[in-house]
Amino acid sequence: MLTEGKLVRDRIPQIIRADGAEPVVYVADPVEYRERLREKLREEVAEYMEADETTAPEELADVLEVAFALAADYGVGPEQLEKIRASKAQERGGFAERIVWTGNR
């Protein structure tokens, strides 16, 4: 696990500068970037798990943003990711019916 720093959204350094501070940043290499995206996904999922009904949609949007970035890192754009999702939903279904499996007889 990486210890120093964390992956932030692209405009965060600009926002910090607008607030009068000077951020210390660097651009991650491809290997570190993927590792930091995976770390960020864990962070965003944890924040979603702690969210209440009011903040949950915003936290889900953060999870989605990281998922899109990870997909892009694998060479998969949002449209292709949606096609993969839709194909899986067509083949296996979604989660709308709230089915809970408890095993087989």
3-state per-residue secondary structure call for the chain: CCCCCCCCCCCHHHHHHHCCCCCCCCCCCHHHHHHHHHHHHHHHHHHHHHCCCCCHHHHHHHHHHHHHHHHHHCCCCHHHHHHHHHHHHHHHCCCCCCCCCCCCC
Can you give the CATH number for the domain in which 82 is found? 1.10.287
Q: What is the pLDDT of residue 1?
A: 59
Domain presence at residue 34: yes
Structurally, how many domains does the chain consist of?
1
Average of pLDDT values for 22-47? Answer: 98
Q: Rounded mean pLDDT of the chain?
A: 96
Average of pLDDT values for 30-47? Answer: 98
Q: What is the pLDDT of residue 21?
A: 97
Domain presence at residue 54: yes
Confidence of residue 15 (pLDDT cuts 50, 70, 90): very high
Q: What is the pLDDT of residue 2?
A: 66
Domain presence at residue 68: yes
Domain presence at residue 70: yes
Q: What is the pLDDT of residue 8?
A: 97
